Amino acid sequence: MSSSIPDSQLGLTQSEIQLLRQHQQIALSHAGSNSSRAASHASSQGRLLLDPSSLQALSAHFDRLMYSIQQRWHQLNQQTQTATQVQYDRAGNAIQMADAEIARFRAILREIDELQVEFDKVRRIGEIVKGFKSRVEHLERRI
């Protein structure tokens, strides 16, 4: 076969050769080429078909495949960016909510401190009143 080359000369791994053969079959079957049978025959002999129409079909197939991969990559990239933005927004909202709750908690603590100060004042006043009451009672008993 003059328009084919042994797979071993391609410098590819066995899995890469297998993938190349599959894509050549796909390309030639989609191109409606009569080369599809020739490619199968060459593949069964461990060779890759290299005639111009086969290479053109394979090149067009890989161009479509690369375009498809790029489109899928673009979609996944967009989805990733959207998901990242959503998580960023959620995190931002969570931080804002946490900051608001911290501020509310601090306000409650301030109010508790103020109430504690008021409580201490009232207790001192109560002690003073008890002292006056005790004095008054003591004076009343003396009178």
How high is the pLDDT of residue 1? Answer: 45
pTM of the model: 0.56
Closest alpha carbon to 17 in 7, 26, 27, 9: 7
Structural domain count of the chain: 1
How high is the pLDDT of residue 67? Answer: 97
How high is the pLDDT of residue 56? Answer: 86
How high is the pLDDT of residue 17? Answer: 85
Cβ-based neighbours of 72, under 8 Å, separated by 6 or more: none
The two structure tokens encoding residue 103: 């501020």
Q: SS3 for 6?
A: strand
Q: SS3 for 51?
A: coil
List pLDDT tens digits, range 43-61.
777 777 777 888 888 888 9
* Residue 33 structural domain: 4-141
Residue ranges of the chain whose pLDDT lies below 70: 1-2, 31-36
Q: SS3 for 5?
A: strand
CB 48 within 8 A of CB 7: yes
